[in-house]
């Protein structure tokens, strides 16, 4: 029985399972995980990130206004090193809610 079959039949074991495997089983597990991810979100598309300036231009507000929105929790930037980016999907979700 392969590791994939074990996990399919006993998903609760995944957290405590210790396995010795070969490369073919590992490849099968990776393919299973990738396919499972596609099934759970079939229309997934790559995320688009906006710089603070791009978002400010889009809404015609100042960078100070964006900073205030971040502080209030209206927007939630993603930090990459010293850079700040905004997920376009998060911005679209905010617009739909308001």
What confidence tier does 1 reach under pLDDT thresholds 50, 70, 90? low
Q: Are 58 and 36 in contact (CB under 8 A)?
A: no
**Which residues partner with 80 through β-bridges?**
83
Note the pLDDT tens digit of each residue in 5-38: 777 787 787 777 676 778 888 888 888 888 887 7
Instruction: State the Cα torsion 16-41-26-24 to the nearest 10°.
Output: 150
What is the maximal distance between C-alpha atoms in the chain?
A: 60
Residue 17, pLDDT score: 67
Q: 88 and 57 share a domain? A: yes
Residue 18, pLDDT score: 72
pTM of the model: 0.54
Count: domains in the chain: 2
Residue 64, helix vs strand vs coil:
helix
Note the pLDDT tens digit of each residue in 41-98: 666 678 899 999 999 999 999 999 999 999 999 999 999 889 999 999 899 988 888 7
Q: 27 and 65 share a domain? A: no
Structural domain span for residue 82:
49-97
Please name the residue ranges forming H helices in the chain.
3-9, 23-40, 52-59, 63-72, 88-97
Q: 53 and 93 share a domain? A: yes
Q: 28 and 54 share a domain? A: no
Residue 29, pLDDT score: 81
Q: 22 and 62 share a domain? A: no
């Amino acid at each position: 029985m392969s590791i994939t079959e074990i996990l399919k039949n006993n998903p609760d074991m995944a957290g405590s399972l210790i396995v010795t495997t070969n490369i073919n089983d590992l490849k099968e597990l990776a393919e299973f995980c990738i396919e499972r991810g596609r099934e759970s979100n079939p229309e997934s598309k790559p995320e688009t990130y906006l710089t603070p300036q791009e978002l400010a231009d889009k809404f015609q507000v100042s960078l100070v206004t964006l900073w205030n929105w971040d502080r209030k929790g209206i927007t939630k930037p993603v930090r990459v090193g010293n850079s700040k980016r905004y997920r376009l999907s998060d911005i679209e979700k905010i617009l739909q809610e308001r």
